[in-house]
Structure formats: C-alpha cells, structure tokens
C-alpha cells in the first residue's frame, strides 16, 4: 500500500521509472490474472468432481473390480464393453430409457406449451397460477415418487379405485410393462410440466404484441395465432427444452428406483420391465458390486448423450436452414 | 483515490477467491484421518455404532441403560432403515478405510462375504470373556477359515406359520394352533395342500391363502444345511435338490393361484396385512412385531402362530468390532454386554427378536413368553422348538443375499407376470450367473 500512497521523493527519475514499471506489472497481473482467479473455484470443483471421476471411471471400466476390494484390480481391456454390447439387459434398459423418455417428454412438452399459452393470456391472479405451475418442480423426486407409488398401488391404490368406479379391473401397475412405464412417466410429467411451461411463458412474453394484433386483424383465430405466431416465435426455446428433457430422460433413475422399492426397484421390476440405464448402472455397481461393469455402463451413457447431442445439433441446423 | 479504491477492491476479491479455491482443494484432501469416530477424552470414552433395521438396542433403551451403568461411556448409534443401503455404505467405507464406526452390525446374508474378504479389518472376538453361550451354528456363521470370529450373534430367525383364525374358519380349516400345525406336519407340500382346500371352500375369493410364494421358498431352503453354495464356496443351487424342490412347490403355489401375489416388505404387503387379503404367511420370530404393527389393533386376536412343517432359520445378525477403532477394548465389552443372555431375553420380550444365546433360550422370560396380539400363542415354546430343529451347520455363501432376491424375483415372474416356471428358472439362472459370476 505504501507504494501507491507515498509520492516519489525528490523526483529521482531512475527510481520513479522502476516504480512505474512495477506498478504497471502489478496492474497487468491484476487485469490479466484476476479473471482467472475468479473462475478458478469452478474449475477446481469441476476438476475434482467431474473431470477426475470421468477419467477414473474410464480406468475402472477397463478392469474387473469389486466394490469391497477396490484395491484389487484385474486388467481386462475392453472385455466389459464387449460384454455390455452382448448383454440383452443393456439393450432392454436402453429401449426402456427410450420408451419412458418418449412417454414422459412428448406429453410433458405439449402440455407445457398449452399451459404456457393459457398463462400468457391476461388473467386475474396470474402470479398465483405461475407459482402454482412451478410447485411440483420444487418437491423432491423421492417424495413425489413415493406418493405416486402409493397412488398406483395394485390393491388399495387410489388410481385403481377410481378406475373401478368406471368398471375397470384392478391393474397391476408394477408388473405390467406398459402400465409401469406409464406410471413412471406420469411422475416425470407431473414434476416437469410446470417448469417447462414457465420457460415457454418467458419466451412467449418476448413476442411483440403487434404481431398478434396484426394476425387478429387478418382474421386469424386464437388457435391459428398460436400455431402461426406463438410457436415460431419461441422455436429456439422449444429446442432448448427438448435438449434439457432428453438429457433428463437419459439419466432417469430416482423415479423408477422408488417406484419399484427394494430389490425390484434396482432391477426395474421382476422382469426388468422398467429398468433404465441409470438403474442398470446402479444394479451392477451397488447390487452386484461389480464396479468395472458399472463404470462401463456409465461410459456408455456418456457416449449416448454425446450421440444424442450431435443428432440434435444436426436436426437443429437442418431446421434452421429450412426456416 | 476512487480509482485506487476500485483497484484495491479487485485485488482483495482476487485474493479471496484464490484463497477459497485453495481452501477447497485442501478441504478435499485432508479432512479425513480414517478414524472410526470413537475415541478417548480423559476418562470419557466415546463408542460409535453403525446399525440397521430394528436391531432394538437403541429403540428399547438398552444403550441408555449401558451408559447409565458406565458413566464414562458415551455411545453414538447410527441406525440405517434399510439393510441394503447400510451394507453398500459399509462396503464403501471398508474399501476406503474411512467413515467406519467402532462397532458395525453384520446381517447374516453378508456374514460370509465379510469373513472371506474383510476379516483383517475386524477384531477377533473368539477370546472375549463370557461369550461361550451362543448356539454353535450361530457363531460358526461368522467364523473365518482361520477360526477368527468377526462378530457376536444378536438374534436368529426360527420360523413358524402365522395364520388368521377367522379366515381359516370361514373356509372350513381348523383354527386351533395344534390342529393347524398337524395339518401340515413334517412336509411343506401339505401346507400347499391346505391352501388348495382353503381356496376350494373359501367364501371370499378376494382372500388368498398365503401372501407370496417367495416366503414359502425361503422357509423351505432355510431348513437345510446347504442352500446356494457348498462348503467349498462353489455355487450349487442349480443341482441342490432342496432348492429344486422349494422352487417346484413355490411355483406350484403360484400357478394354483394360492398367493396374494405380494412381495414381503414391499408396497401392498402392509396394506394387505391391514385389510386381510391373505390368510397365512411363513413368519420368522422377528416378523411378529411387523405383523402386529401393520395389521393393527382391529385384527388383534384374529392372528395366531402354528408350528411350521420343518424348522428353519431366516435372518439374524451379528455385531463386529473394527480393528481400526481406538477404543477396541471398550467396544468389545459393549458388544459382549449387548449380546449377553440377559439382554437377548430382554430384546425378545420387548420386540420379539429371538435369542441366539443358548442360555437365554432356557430363561423363563423366553420359554414362557406368550403373545397377546397372536391370541396368546406360546411363542417362546413354538419358536424355541423351531430353533432346536434348525440344522447344526448352515453353509453360507458370499452372495446369499443377492441370490435370495433373484429367486424371489424369479417367483414373481411366475406369480404376477404369468411366465412359465421353466422360463422363469432359466431367467433366474442367467441372473445369478451375472450377479455372482
């Protein structure tokens, strides 16, 4: 501090220049260096909790190693990967991840779009409805899944009770493949619809009002306005939510795990009828205690996400060119 | 001046953020010393325990009693609700060498794996004074190949059949517990036959004879000394006649529609107890507490307990002391006290965990115990007799717990998904190969 506050004594030019140089050096360090210091915490955390695990996981996936004896590793090369490729459980889990993903993402985004459109109208207590739309998102996966599990229970669940009122026999939600996948999707839909609706709403409000007015003057109905003005206006947000939902669907884990409860949750039902990739990873690692095979599934999921991402980029570009 | 202040501010912020980044790194590397949580401070001793389920030590106030008798001891017990979660954490802690407690609970299904792969991390309890009172087969389950004993026994799970008197009556079956026991004396297939009679004469087709076929399967295999593995540690389930017979009979019960298609301790089972959707279940001693709690006061006196066709053991646990613990001596004393005959008898009286101590089995609190909820059934005598029938040697295997789960899922395939028994066996076989291979 003394350097910058005291004035140079008797104006000796040599010392002054030296000080000046030091000062500019410090200044440069400050300007150039400080930003790195600011972003450092993130990268340190990223290195410790993302990058290192990523590398370590790939190392483990080349070994045969059990959870209780992590110090004993047996090199097996790419055996785990070829075994996974030949394992029908993997393809089953992949297909389930896909079907549950579609079952949950498509209705979810459509409903969110509709909900956002309604919220976009001028209406009384709009803040209340917006907050209400977001509440499910704030509940924990665990709580939501537990409640839905009770609702979908075979003998005494509320949903079967309501269905019995209209003459439908008890459905064994858990043991029937499509029923189980629908039930799990409903948990996802319930939690995320409001969240996506608010994203759409934010984008919709950025659409200039005069476009609607112009459309109305041209005689467009509400529905036509929605299709021709609103949807094109928020196209990039729609793509964004599709990306987010796809990532979420690929990693689906908590809902099916809790839906099945106990050993059946881990294997995604007695017949693996709703086992997702996340559950398969968990089963290999934390039920069979085969960390090498679990790490292989983790990498397969990672590669899959990259593939999905690339495909989406391509689709986006093609769509942009068309537009 | 203003410029200077701004500069100072950026510098301070930069320094703080750099320091905090460093702090994060240090925080990750050096916080854990790999201890077990326990320790000594002057003459105060802290002992930590890792437990699961309802082992009863904390719940019945036994730990408080011990602390009162030993004012210099503080016990901190962590109780995990679910054993699967508990064991996964224990394995991770064992592998990492940190996060362990001084005393760790061991479930029977894990005993073999731990004594095979982790015995170095446990204290040898073979020589602890006053611990020669256990059933011989109980202690042999946690004895490693070099005679090292890694735990002391808590409870065991002798089995009987719990049944509903009122539901048995409405379908013309006897209701008196001795007559009911005679109905299936000596052979589990007679239990299934009784079920067929029940189904034929039942006036309410919403009520099933038993809860699940996997309960029956468990009861049958646990009555034999050899189950999934042989003594050399080889998998023999596929050729073991006991397993084959149990599978056959359990799938027969499943395909004859005698079960409520429930899974024990899973959703639907508890409301099934409360709403009477099944008339009987094979029940180890520790299950009585669960049934009485879930079936609730409105079903009190409707339940009763009858002797099972054959004695079998389902479940039971141990307490082990970690080699790393700085309070090994005190922890061993605590484990010896908690598993002593008096405490075991007390726990049986309080929550129904059946003693593994021979001395406790002869104590009047155990022998003369009756269950109010189960129509005054002499549970001490019934389960005591069942305990005597349990084979003296029980061969455990490393993946017993996992294989048991896979088998009950295999039976669910038949029961709830209408798979053919052959097909379900094939799937089960493949799964065990993947899980245990």
3-state SS record for B214-233? HHHHHHHHCCCCECCECCCC
Q: Which of B186-195, B225-234, B259-268 shows the lowest mean pLDDT across its residues?
A: B259-268
Task: Kindly give the pairing relationship between strand A74-75 and strand A63-64.
Answer: antiparallel
User: What's the token pair of residue A125?
Assistant: 């207590």
Residue A8 has pLDDT above 70, yes or no: no
Residue B29 has pLDDT above 70, yes or no: no
A81-101 confidence digits (pLDDT tens): 999 999 999 999 999 999 999
Work out the pLDDT band at A173, boundaries 50, 70, 90: very high
Q: Which residue of A has its CA nearest to B275?
A: A156
B328-350 confidence digits (pLDDT tens): 999 999 999 999 999 999 999 98
- Cα separation of B57 and A314, whole Å? 61
pLDDT for the residue numbered A12: 53
- Cα separation of A215 and A228, whole Å? 9
- Cα separation of B11 and A3, whole Å? 15
- Cα separation of B383 and B368, whole Å? 11
Q: What is the mean pLDDT of residues B77-105?
A: 89
Query: Within an 8 Å CB–CB cutoff, is residue B275 touching chain A?
Result: yes
Contact A68 B435 (CB under 8 A): no
pLDDT for the residue numbered A13: 56
pLDDT for the residue numbered B28: 38
User: What's the token pair of residue B73?
Assistant: 């001891």
- Cα separation of A182 and A171, whole Å? 12
pLDDT for the residue numbered B10: 46
Q: Say whether B339 sits in a helix, a strand or coil.
A: coil
Residue whose C-alpha is closest to residue B238's, from B65, B73, B428, B420: B428
Q: What is the mean pLDDT of residues B407-429?
A: 95
Contact B13 A154 (CB under 8 A): no
Contact B95 A68 (CB under 8 A): yes
Q: Say whether B272 sits in a helix, a strand or coil.
A: helix
Residue B129 has pLDDT above 90, yes or no: no
**CB-CB contact of B50 with B336 (8 Å):** no
User: What's the token pair of residue A188?
Assistant: 């996802």
Residue whose C-alpha is closest to residue A188's, from A237, A132, A250: A250
Residues facing B282 on adjacent strands: B161
Work out the pLDDT band at A121, boundaries 50, 70, 90: confident
pLDDT for the residue numbered A19: 85
Output the CA–CA distances (angstroms, integers) from residue B240 to B228, B244, B314, B412, in the order listed.
8, 6, 19, 21
pLDDT for the residue numbered B326: 94
Distance of CA B280 to the CA centre of its chain: 21
Work out the pLDDT band at B272, boundaries 50, 70, 90: very high
What percentage of chain B has pLDDT greater than the value 90? 70
Question: Can you give the length of chain A in residues?
Answer: 323
User: What's the token pair of residue A284?
Assistant: 């290999």
pLDDT for the residue numbered B34: 54
- Cα separation of B67 and A221, whole Å? 78
- Cα separation of B295 and B302, whole Å? 10
Chain A positions touching B7 (Cβ under 8 A) are: 27, 30
Residue B21 has pLDDT above 80, yes or no: no
Residue B393 has pLDDT above 60, yes or no: yes
**CB-CB contact of B284 with B308 (8 Å):** no
Q: Which of residues 372-431 of B touch A (CB under 8 A)?
A: 402, 405, 408-410, 412-413, 416-417, 419, 427
pLDDT for the residue numbered A301: 92
Residue B419 has pLDDT above 90, yes or no: yes
What percentage of chain A has pLDDT greater than the value 90? 63
B289-303 confidence digits (pLDDT tens): 889 989 999 999 999
pLDDT for the residue numbered B17: 45
pLDDT for the residue numbered B131: 86
B375-392 confidence digits (pLDDT tens): 999 999 999 999 989 988
- Cα separation of A60 and A298, whole Å? 11
Give the one of B14, B25, B118 whose C-beta lies nearest to A68's C-beta.
B118
What percentage of chain B has pLDDT greater than the value 70? 92
Q: Say whether A74 sits in a helix, a strand or coil.
A: strand
User: What's the token pair of residue A88?
Assistant: 């029908």
């Amino acid at each position: 501090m003394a350097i910058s506050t005291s004035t140079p004594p008797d104006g000796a030019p040599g010392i002054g220049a030296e000080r000046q140089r030091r000062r500019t050096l410090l200044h440069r360090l400050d300007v150039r260096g400080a930003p790195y210091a600011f972003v450092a915490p993130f990268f340190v955390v990223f290195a410790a909790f993302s990058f290192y695990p990523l590398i370590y996981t790939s190392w483990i996936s080349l070994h045969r190693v059990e959870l209780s004896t992590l110090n004993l590793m047996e090199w097996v090369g790419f055996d785990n990967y070829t075994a996974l490729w030949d394992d029908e459980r993997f393809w089953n889990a992949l297909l389930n991840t896909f079907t549950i993903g579609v079952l949950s993402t498509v209705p979810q985004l459509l409903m969110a779009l509709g909900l956002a459109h309604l919220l976009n109208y001028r209406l009384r207590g709009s803040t209340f409805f917006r907050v209400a739309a977001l509440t499910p998102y704030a509940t924990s996966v665990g709580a939501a899944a537990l409640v839905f599990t009770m609702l979908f229970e075979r003998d005494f669940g509320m949903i079967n009770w309501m269905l019995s009122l209209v003459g439908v026999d008890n459905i064994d939600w858990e043991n029937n493949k499509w029923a189980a996948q629908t039930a799990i999707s409903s948990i996802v839909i319930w939690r995320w619809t409001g969240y996506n609706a608010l994203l759409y709403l934010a984008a919709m409000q950025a659409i200039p009002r005069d476009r609607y007015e112009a459309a109305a003057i041209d005689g467009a109905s509400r529905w036509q306005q929605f299709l021709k003005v609103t949807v094109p206006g928020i196209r990039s947000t729609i793509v964004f939510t599709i990306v987010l939902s796809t990532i979420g669907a690929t990693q689906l884990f908590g809902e099916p795990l809790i839906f099945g409860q106990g050993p059946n949750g881990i294997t995604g039902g007695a017949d693996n009828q709703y086992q997702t990739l996340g559950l398969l990873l968990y089963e290999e690692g934390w039920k069979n205690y085969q960390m090498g095979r679990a790490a292989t599934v983790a990498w397969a999921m990672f590669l899959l996400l990259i593939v999905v991402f690339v495909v989406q980029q391509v689709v986006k570009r093609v769509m942009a060119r068309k537009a | 001046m203003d410029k200077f202040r701004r500069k100072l501010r950026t510098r301070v912020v930069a320094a703080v953020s750099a320091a905090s980044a460093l702090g994060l790194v240090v925080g990750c590397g050096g916080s854990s010393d790999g201890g077990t949580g326990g320790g000594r401070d002057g003459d105060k001793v802290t002992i930590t325990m890792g437990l699961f389920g309802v082992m009863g030590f904390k719940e019945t106030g036994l730990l408080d009693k011990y602390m009162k008798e030993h004012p210099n001891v503080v016990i901190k017990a962590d109780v995990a609700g679910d054993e699967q979660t508990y064991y996964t954490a224990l394995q991770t802690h064992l592998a990492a060498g940190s996060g362990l407690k001084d005393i760790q609970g061991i479930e029977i299904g894990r005993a073999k794996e731990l004594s095979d792969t982790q015995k170095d991390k446990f204290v040898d309890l073979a020589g602890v004074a006053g611990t020669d009172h256990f059933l011989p087969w109980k202690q042999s389950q946690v004895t490693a190949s070099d005679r090292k004993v890694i735990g002391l026994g808590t409870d065991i799970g002798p089995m009987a059949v719990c049944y509903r008197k009122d539901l048995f009556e409405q379908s013309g079956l006897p209701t008196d517990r001795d007559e009911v026991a005679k109905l299936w004396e000596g052979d589990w297939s007679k239990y299934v036959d009784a079920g067929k009679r029940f189904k034929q004469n039942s006036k309410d087709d919403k009520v099933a004879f038993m809860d699940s076929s996997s309960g029956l399967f468990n009861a049958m295999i646990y009555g034999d000394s050899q189950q999934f593995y042989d003594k050399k540690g080889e998998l023999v389930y596929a050729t073991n006649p006991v397993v084959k017979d149990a599978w056959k009979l359990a799938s027969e019960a499943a395909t004859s529609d005698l079960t409520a298609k429930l899974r024990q301790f899973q959703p639907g089972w508890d409301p099934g107890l409360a709403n009477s959707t099944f008339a009987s279940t094979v029940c180890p001693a520790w299950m009585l507490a669960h049934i009485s709690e879930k079936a609730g006061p409105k079903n009190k006196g409707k339940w009763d307990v009858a002797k099972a066709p054959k004695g079998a053991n389902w479940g039971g646990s141990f307490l082990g002391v970690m080699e790393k613990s700085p309070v090994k001596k005190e922890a061993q004393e605590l484990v010896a006290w908690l598993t002593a005959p008096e405490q075991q008898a007390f726990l049986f009286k309080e929550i129904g965990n059946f003693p593994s101590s021979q001395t406790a089995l002869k104590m009047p609190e155990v022998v003369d115990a009756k269950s109010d909820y189960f129509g005054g059934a002499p549970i001490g005598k019934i389960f005591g007799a069942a305990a005597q029938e349990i084979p003296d040697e029980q061969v455990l295997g490393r993946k017993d717990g996992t294989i048991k789960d896979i088998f009950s899922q295999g039976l669910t395939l038949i029961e709830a998904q209408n798979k053919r028994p052959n097909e379900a066996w094939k799937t089960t076989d493949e799964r065990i190969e993947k899980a245990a291979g």
